[in-house]
């Protein structure tokens, strides 16, 4: 159970989480190996360029013969072409690798998150999961492909250049190494300050987008309460705050640029001055001095990109850590190692036999107050049972337990003679059809929305189900009939139409056990009648538990169960209960949405 939540961990600076990238890289070892080969060749030819240039100057130019000059120029061009080819190959391979790894990480994370139970989503905001899936994977992407490439290339170039500088002139290298700290130390300390500032700038920007997201998502509430001016002011303040931090950051960055440019140029000038004297005294050639300078520039560039990479690497490590958390979260509800199979459903046979036995259940966030307490009930196959009770009585909770979104603290639920705790939750859910209070539609066509009931159903079966649910007529007059896009969350349909889609889904699924949470919002009389008829057809041939809010429904049920405070307090038919149970009589008079007068 503890695994189901994501504790807010202090963000470590360790880069260890990047080790979890390996399982994703491993299947593509071949590509990785080729990428490294291309990398080495590109670096090799890049390091050869200054040498070629130096030879060109010393041997070619000073030889005074045009032919020699030509040969050296051709050699120089050849090295350049090789460098270009290997660099392109390296770029292609590492980018491919990065994209591949991130696609795999995304898919693996989603695959795990979609099987998590409601407990997980009670403590984890879906927005956070989404941001991990997009932002964090993007961070990891930059590191796992291009980042690795830059880091390796810069490391090779840095060490290669230093070695080559030593080969060219040990004296100059020594001088360089002495001059280095005077450049590096101030740059590093300013750089550290800069990093802190850019993190806080990033945080300020996140603040502004958080604010905008929150208000734009609830735009109608904002406008209904005329909060536009207030929110604009808050947003302005947030934007100003992020601007202020950005200005401070830019100022530090400007200082850093001034300082590092001056120091680097000064250091190079000193080395150049010393080198010029060496050339004058014939201790080294002009070509060698050029060669040395080029290697010094290489080393400088490599060192700069390595230090820049380092903060990227740390950010990617943090992102990877968060992704691994999502990938390793385990649902509290899992299938037992050897799930007990539910008996096969014979057509027309007695499936959908439900028993609650002394069930006691508390929601994890409220361990001291039971939502169901000593709840025992047997429902015969084919029976229709209506649950009635005040709001918060525990009616919907029974559905949550039957669908095995939670396990009870004690007692059992038995479906077709199998304790559902011993069965595979998938098998249990396949046997149940749910028509929820509020139908959730997906952003796809009417046809696909109905097909969610049974993904392998044919078009004809989908249409037959729609007909049975009295949905066919309104679907065919939609602009594109069954292919009409229903809008995100089905916002382009009315409540009654959405409900009929949900009923069509359940008809298509044809489950032995139907769980129906009757909508509380009253439909108009006409759609009420068609929905009711559709439901009756559906209920006729299977076990049905219906959370009833209408007199018409309870009158048709075989049995009414009155629930209060998580307990069954009475059961029977409408007339008996009206006479015998004061709570039921009161509910009938006040709660049924199709007219209290009818109940009186
Ligand atoms: N996810 C949850 N976490 C904690 N408590 C919950 C959760 N869902 C429901 N409850 C609590 O459990 C109790 C039973 O809720 P339930 O949803 O079963 O009521 P209900 O009978 O369906 O009510 P209504 O008619 O209003 O839908 C209520 O006190 C409710 O506050
Ligand atoms: Mg409910």
Question: Is pLDDT above 80 for 427?
Answer: yes
250 and 131 share a domain? no
pLDDT of residue 597: 40
What share of the chain has pLDDT > 90, as a percent?
Answer: 25
413 vs 195: which has the higher pLDDT: 413
Q: Please, which pLDDT band fits residue 563 given cuts at 50, 70 and 90?
A: very high
355 vs 138: which has the higher pLDDT: 355
Total count of domains within the chain? 3
Residue with CA nearest ligand 1 atom 12: 371
Residues 6+ apart with CB under 8 A from 200: 245
Residue 371 lies in a domain: no
50 vs 414: which has the higher pLDDT: 414
23 and 102 share a domain? yes
Quick one: CA dihedral 145, 147, 151, 153, positive or negative? positive
Residue 143 lies in a domain: yes
pLDDT of residue 265: 83
53 and 149 share a domain? yes
130 and 70 share a domain? yes
CA end-to-end distance (rounded Å), the chain: 48
15 and 149 share a domain? yes
pLDDT of residue 21: 86
134 and 210 share a domain? no
Question: Is pLDDT above 60 for 522?
Answer: no
> Mean pLDDT in the chain?
84
State the residue range of the domain holding 485: 439-510
Residue 363 CA: which ligand is closest?
A: 1
Residue 3 lies in a domain: yes
Separate counts of helices (H) and strands (E) for the chain: 23, 10
Tokens standing for 600?
Answer: 């009186």
149 vs 597: which has the higher pLDDT: 149
Give the residue-averaged pLDDT of 440-464: 90
- The atom number, within ligand 1, closest to the CA of 118 reads 1
Residue with CA nearest ligand 1 atom 25: 391
Alpha carbon of 139 to those of 7, 18, 213, 312: distances in Å?
A: 21, 12, 22, 8
pLDDT per residue as tens digits for the range 11-33:
455 777 788 888 988 999 999 89
CA 394 to chain centre: 32
20 and 157 share a domain? yes
219 and 232 share a domain? yes
Residue with CA nearest ligand 1 atom 16: 394
Tokens standing for 599?
Answer: 């109940």
Question: Is pLDDT above 60 for 251?
Answer: yes
Pocket probe mutation, ligand 1, options 117, 124, 371, 563, max atoms within 8 Å of Cβ: 371
3-state secondary structure of 385: strand
Phi, psi (deg, nearest 5) at residue 265: -65, -40
Pocket probe mutation, ligand 1, options 123, 124, 397, 568, max atoms within 8 Å of Cβ: 397
Whichever domain contains 118, its CATH number is: 1.20.1560.10
Distance 173 CA to ligand 1 centre (A): 75
Strand partners, 563: 568
158 and 238 share a domain? no
Task: Please name which of 118, 174, 176 lies closest in space to residue 1, comparing C-alpha atoms.
Answer: 118
DSSP letter for 283, please. Answer: S
153-162, 300-309, 388-397: segment of lowest average pLDDT: 300-309
Whichever domain contains 452, its CATH number is: 3.40.50.300
Residues 6+ apart with CB under 8 A from 454: 461, 508, 509, 510
Distance 403 CA to ligand 2 centre (A): 14
Give the residue-averaged pLDDT of 501-508: 89
Give the residue-averaged pLDDT of 359-384: 92
Residue with CA nearest ligand 1 atom 14: 394
pLDDT of residue 489: 63
Kindly give the pairing relationship between strand 372-379 and strand 354-361: antiparallel
pLDDT per residue as tens digits for the range 217-233:
778 888 888 889 999 99
- Ion ligand 2 contact residues with beta carbon within 5 A: 396
Pocket probe mutation, ligand 1, options 359, 370, 389, 394, max atoms within 8 Å of Cβ: 394
Q: What is the reported pTM?
A: 0.72
155 and 181 share a domain? no
Distance 396 CA to ligand 2 centre (A): 4
199-208, 285-294, 378-387, 454-463: segment of lowest average pLDDT: 199-208
Give the residue-averaged pLDDT of 98-108: 91
Alpha carbon of 305 to those of 152, 298, 309: distances in Å?
A: 11, 11, 6
490: left (phi over 0), alpha (psi -120 to 50) or beta: left
- The atom number, within ligand 1, closest to the CA of 393 reads 21
Residues 6+ apart with CB under 8 A from 442: 448, 449, 452, 486, 489, 490
């Amino acid at each position: 159970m503890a695994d189901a939540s994501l504790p807010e961990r202090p963000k470590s600076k360790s880069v260890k989480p990047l080790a979890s990238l390996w399982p994703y890289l491993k299947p593509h070892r071949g590509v990785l190996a080729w990428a490294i080969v291309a990398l080495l060749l590109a670096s090799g030819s890049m390091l050869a360029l200054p040498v070629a240039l130096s030879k060109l100057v010393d041997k070619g130019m000073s030889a005074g013969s045009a032919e020699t000059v030509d040969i050296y120029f051709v050699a120089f061009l050849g090295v350049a072409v090789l460098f270009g080819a290997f660099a392109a190959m390296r770029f292609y391979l590492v980018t491919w690798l990065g994209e591949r790894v991130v696609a795999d990480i995304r898919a693996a994370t989603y695959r795990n998150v979609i099987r998590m139970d409601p407990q997980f989503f009670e403590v984890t905001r879906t927005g956070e999961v989404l941001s991990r899936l997009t932002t964090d994977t993007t961070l990891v992407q930059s590191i796992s492909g291009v980042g690795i490439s830059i880091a390796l290339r810069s490391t090779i170039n840095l060490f290669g250049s230093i070695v080559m500088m030593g080969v060219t002139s040990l004296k100059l290298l020594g001088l360089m190494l002495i001059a280095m700290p005077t450049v590096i130390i101030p740059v590093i300390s300013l750089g550290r300050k800069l990093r802190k500032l850019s993190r806080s700038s990033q945080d300020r920007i996140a603040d502004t987008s958080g604010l905008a997201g929150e208000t734009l998502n609830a735009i109608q509430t904002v406008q209904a309460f005329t909060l536009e001016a207030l929110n604009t002011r808050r947003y302005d303040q947030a934007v100003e705050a992020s601007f202020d931090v950005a200005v401070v950051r830019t100022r530090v960055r400007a200082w850093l640029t001034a300082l590092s440019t001056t120091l680097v140029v000064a250091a190079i000038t000193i080395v150049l001055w010393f080198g010029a004297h060496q050339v004058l005294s014939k201790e080294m050639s002009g070509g060698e001095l050029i060669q040395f300078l080029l290697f010094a520039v290489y080393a400088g560039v490599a060192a700069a990109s390595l230090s820049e990479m380092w903060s990227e690497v740390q950010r990617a490590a943090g992102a990877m850590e968060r992704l691994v958390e999502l990938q390793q979260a385990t649902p509290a509800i899992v299938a037992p190692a050897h799930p007990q199979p539910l008996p096969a459903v014979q057509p027309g046979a007695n499936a959908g036999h439900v028993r609650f036995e002394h069930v006691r259940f508390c929601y994890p966030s409220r361990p001291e107050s039971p939502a169901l307490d000593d709840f025992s009930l047997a429902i015969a196959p084919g029976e229709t049972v209506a649950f009635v009770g005040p709001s918060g009585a525990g009616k919907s909770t029974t559905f949550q337990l039957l669908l095995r979104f939670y396990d009870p603290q004690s007692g059992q639920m038995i479906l077709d003679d199998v304790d559902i705790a011993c069965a595979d939750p998938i098998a249990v859910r396949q046997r149940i059809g749910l028509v929820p209070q509020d139908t959730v539609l997906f952003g796809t066509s009417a046809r696909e929305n109905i097909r969610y009931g049974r993904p392998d159903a044919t078009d004809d079966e989908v249409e037959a189900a729609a007909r049975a649910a009295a949905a066919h007529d309104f679907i065919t007059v939609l602009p594109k009939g069954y292919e009409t896009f229903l809008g995100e969350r089905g916002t382009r349909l009315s409540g009654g139409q959405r409900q009929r889609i949900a009923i069509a889904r359940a008809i298509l699924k044809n489950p032995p056990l139907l769980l129906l949470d009757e909508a509380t919002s009253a439909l108009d009389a006409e759609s009420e009648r068609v929905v009711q008829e559709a439901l009756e057809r559906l209920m006729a041939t299977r076990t049905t538990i219906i959370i009833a809010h209408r007199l018409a429904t309870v009158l048709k049920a075989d049995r009414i169960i009155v629930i209060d405070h998580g307990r069954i307090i009475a059961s029977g038919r409408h007339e008996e209960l009206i006479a015998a149970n004061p709570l039921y009589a009161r509910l009938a008079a006040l709660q049924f949405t199709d007219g209290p007068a009818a109940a009186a």
